Structures are given as structure tokens and as C-alpha cells.
Structure 1
Amino acid sequence: MHVPDGFINAPVSVAAGAVAATAVAVSLRGARRELGGAFQGEGSGGERTAPLAGLVAAFIFAVQMLNFPVAAGTSGHLLGGALAAILVGPYTGVLCVSVVLLMQGILFADGGLTALGVNITVMGVVTVVVAYAVFRGLLKVLPPTRRSVTVAAFAGALLSVPGAATAFTAIYALGGTTDVPIGKVFTAMVGVHVLIGIGEAAITAATVGAVIAVRPDLVHGARGLSTPLKLRVGGELVDAPAAAPAPAPARSTKPVWITGLVTALVLAGFVSYYASASPDGLEKVAADQGIDAKAEEHAAAGSPLADYSVKDVTDARLSGGLAGIIGVGATVVVGTGIFWTVRRRRAQDLTATSTPAPSAR
């Protein structure tokens, strides 16, 4: 659902850019809390998020290269907002998707540069907000089990994709560059993206389920998930009094990090060659409805990595694989650098706050 240049007029693109910039600024502040949770008495989960957030961004980049067929002549791919929000938190999730979109736009000419604000708003902010709201709402009514987390993740991801399609339609209604009935755009966009949402939900639930099966402490959405101890009193089971939680022994995140990075590299470097070549949902709707009439060539069309291929490498399999590996590497480096910086800033702020000022004598 990468919106290219020329779909949305300049005033609305600027407005969407302002919305996206505000969302990123708010997310940077919120991510300090999510990435620095250990400094706030939230247990050790907070500091473990920082090295994994960059990995989540790289994983989303890799899986977005795997277009899957959803209808005749149409494909879809992961948007990633739901997955990121559940694994590392909603604020950090917005930043993860924003990093992916930035890397795709600059290096691979995927998603217009003037439309970057639109793409961050639609694919980053809307998906995270919808998915995490649904996810948290369901966890309030479902039993406190790991299976409930997976089910809630599936539902949140499923609804986040048509939610993003609706957001794009609203933006297009305000600033579309072609005269197409909005009702037709809405019906087509939501219709195909409901199908894409099923794929998004399956990928999100499978990934969350896999991580929570081996390291539930690393899943932001599963923190605090526990079943109260039961005692039998007078023949009836009652909840035991809550005891002060013992600090959990530190466990290395290196095995998970290495496994995740290798998986992302394999998906982007090898499996992506077998992805569907059909246009994705937005591209198909744009062609069918005529909303791409004023689409513009990407400013980075001459990039050596444009269209996910390496310039001057003639073998298609090798060219696409190298581009995918470079993309994963660049995303994990940039993402990890950003998230470590955010976490260190949080630590410095809290240290400064807790250090008493010297008294005057």
C-alpha cells in the first residue's frame, strides 16, 4: 500500500507530513518509556526491547518483500503495524514502520518521497492505533493466556489493514489528483484489503505465537500475563494473596536476535524471489479506478537499488537477493541505532532526575 508521488496533491501531502511528523515526535517520547521500562520499575522487559526493535523493523522490511496472492491478478504484503506494536509496543511500533518506509523510499524507490507523510500516517500510525486498540480490548475480555495474546494479535492485525485502506480513501477524498467517485475507491480499497488483512493476521499471529512460545518476556503485549495462584480454602478455590514479584534472572536476547536476523536475511535474500509478481492492492485499485493517472516518477528512480534490484547485476535472482540483504542490513543498523539512542536518552533523563542537586552552604 505504498502511495507513490502524484496520487495526493501538495497541500494534503504537506498536511499528512505534519501529522506524520507529530506522530513520530510523540512516538519518540513514548518509546523512551517502552524501551527504558527497567528504569521505571517495569521489570527487565524494557531494556530488552531496544536491541530487538531494530530487528523487528528489519523483519518487517523482509516480509514486506513477500507479496502473496489474494485474488485474480492482485497480491498483498504485510503492513507490519500490528506486529510491531504487539512485539515492542505501540510507540516503538510506529517508529519501526516509519524506519522501514524511510529506507524503502530512499534506497528502493518504493513509496513516493513527497508521499512519505501519507505512507507513515496510513501504514504506520493508523495500523498501529487500530491493531493495538483491538488487541488490548480483546485481552480485557479473554482469559489471561498466551493463546489469548495470539488470538487478539490475529484480530488486531486483521482489522488494521482495512482500517489503513479506509484512511487512504479519506486522504484521497481530500486531496486526490484525479476525479474518481470516492464510493468506488472506498469499496474497491476496503474489499481487497480485507483479503490482504487475512494474510496480515496469519503472519502476525504466527510470528507473535512463535516468539511468545520461547520468550514471552520479549513480547510487549504479553507483559504481566500470568495466572493467579489458587488456594483451596473451605473446599473452594480462591486467589492467593499477591506477593511481591521476585526479580527475573537476566536472559540473553542474543539467540533470539541472531535467529530473527538470519530469518529476515533468508526471507529477503532468497524467499522473496518466489513472491507474487502481481500488483498489490493499492496498485490494482489505482489501475482499475484510474487514480494513478497523474502518478509521477519516483525521485530516487535512478537509485542503484531501485525496484529491489542491484544495478548492473543481470541475474534477476542474484540482483533481487542482494538488494533484499542490503535492505535488511541497512534497516537493522539504522533502526537499532535510533532505538539505542532513544533508550540512552531515557536513561540519562532518569539519572538526572534521580540525582539530588548539591545543597548550597
Structure 2
Amino acid sequence: MVQIGLEKIIESPPEWLKKARIGLLSNQASTASDLVHSRFHLQKAFPGQMTCLFSPQHGFFAEKQDNMIESGHQVDPATGLMVYSLYGDSREPNEEQYAQIDVLLIDIVDVGTRVYTFMYTMAYCLEWAAKLGKKVVVLDRPNPVGGKAVEGNILEPEWASFVGLYPIPMRHGLTFGELALMMNQEFSLGADLEVIAMDGWKRDMFFRDTGFPWVFPSPNMPTPETALVYPGQVIWEGTNVSEGRGTTLPFELVGAPFWKCGEMLDAVKDIPLPGCYLRELAFEPTSGKFARQVCSGFQIHITDPSAFLPYRTSLALLQASFGLYPESFSYKEPPYEYEFTRLPMDLIIGSQAVRRALETDKALLEIEAEWRQELTQYDEMRQKYFLY
């Protein structure tokens, strides 16, 4: 079984941590292999040193369902520690909060996708640590969608937002610790940063290969399979098509009342979509888009995780939906993740040009070819930060 950074730091505590005041950025998914939360393990290992907690989007207990649903600061009933929300009045820590700590430990379950906001919460924590002279230590964890494949266009700077601050592809192919090292160096965050690496993790591992228990990091990320489809399926958040929220299979399901599955499959039949099977079905969300309405669509079954291309698969379906149902299909209007004027779809894709190319019915493989060189350059750059 993989041994995560949390377990390593408890097993062999570094000398410089033994008298430090410690803050912890985490949420309810941040457990050891015994399913006991990291704050309890750290309190036991460093008695009297934990001073406060920080939480990302969705709240410390991952109870908030959707974007722009904020969490307030609260006292953790189990430890008595103050939990500072970094998805509330502000998405950044501040000087008053950092005055309570010497070292910030970051122990977060990431899902390997550019738009998942936890990485930008970490980036803001690194920026403030650099300003205020605090040390940051990332306790590394597996990337549940593996560490080999990268996929997608590189985010263009004019489309930067809290779902994409930096020019990276949709599927970034790094662990959270590697991501921290890359962001800190490549984007000049300048923090005093250390990563406690895992033992036993290999780049070709998907989450089911790790032997580690899955705990959902956000309400609509119930399984590792959800994480595998998410780098593509997240695009539906920028449309009126249901991404399966309000069902027991969010992101694995996709559809709308106006879809006709046969027409959709015919529209994508010439595009290679390896590693998956699009199974036709109907579903009825209990909340969110089309609540209590029957949607026609698909469950994405992953038959070969190593071959599966989540971004291509979902973009193919998006292009088909736009082309077949122009009178019914629509994009979500702002606001989205605190952006009040720009189209959410452009923020999610990280490019207006890619969206417009899809709308003109340009061949998807041709669109991919246009970003291949930048993706290759990113792939080469990220390898400087490999820990495994």
C-alpha cells in the first residue's frame, strides 16, 4: 500500500517541526489509511502545537454542494480549533490568521484537474507564506487519475480565474506536492516550501491501484471513477446540459431532455474515443438542472483507464450537442466562480478560441493538433518537478 506524506511526517517528525506552531489546510477527506482524520493524528504527534485549521471550497466537512456557496469561519467541535474558511468572504488567508502559525501543513485530496479549485487555494497560501515568512509543507497524496497522462489545451492568460489561475492543461499529471513545487517555481510564488513525498506511489497508478481508501473530497466526487471522468465532464457546468448532479453518479452521467442518444452517437462515431463505452440511458435528477425531468444521455463506463481520454470524450459530446440542438442547447450565463462578466464555458475550457472552433464544427482532432506543441512543452516542463 502507498504510504502518504501525512503518515511519513508522523512516523519521522522533522526536528524543525517539533516546537513550531502548526496550521493545517485540509478537509474531511484528509485521512490516513486508517480513515482517522489528519488533524487527530497531528494533534497526537505534536501535542499542543496545532493552533488552527483552514478549509478549501465546499467547507471543512465538504458539505457545500456547488460553486459560490460559501463557508464561514467556525470552531471545529472535535478539537476546539478555529477553522478559517478560504472559500468565504475571501479565498485567501490573511496576516491575522498567519500570525497564529509558524508552519502551514497542506494535506488535501486533489483530483488532477485544472479547474478543481483546491490547487488555487494552495497557491494563495503559498503567496501569503512568501509575504509573511511562513514555511509551507505539503503532505503528498496520490493523483487519483494517475501521473503519466496530460491532456487538453493550455489555459490562456486572459481566461485566468479561480478555476484556472495558471497556464496548465485540463489534466495536469502531477501530485499535489509536485504541483506545489511547479507553481512555486514556475509562477514565482517564492514560498519556503517543502514536500513530504509518499512511499510506494508510481506514476502509472490510478487510485484503485494504491490500496488506499477513497474519501470524497467534495460532495459530487463520490468515487475514484468520478475523478477519472471529471477532466472532461466538468465542462458541462458551463452549459444547460446536466452533468449528473442530483443523481448518485455525478459526472459519470450526462444528458438533457432534448438529447437523442442515437443522433449523439452517430455524430461522434468517427472520433476515436478509446478506453470507454457510452451506454445509453435515461435519468431524472432530484436537484439542479432539469430536476424531476427525464434526461436522455449516457453513463460513461471506463473500460481502460490508461487509454481513456476524458477531455476529448466530453468535447466530442459538447460539439455534437451544440451542432444537433442549437435551439435547445445553451451556455450557462455568469456568474461562475466569482467571475461576473466572462462566459463560464470560456473560463472552464481556458480559451475562447477553442470554444469557437468547436462551434464552427471544426474537426476535434484538428483542434487538438493546434494545442499539441504547447502541451508537449508543458509535459517537458512538469517533469522537472517529478518526485516519483
TM-score by length of 2: 0.27
Higher helix share: 1
Higher strand share: 2
* Higher gyration radius (CA): 1
The higher relative CO (CA closer than 8 Å, separation ≥ 6) is in 1
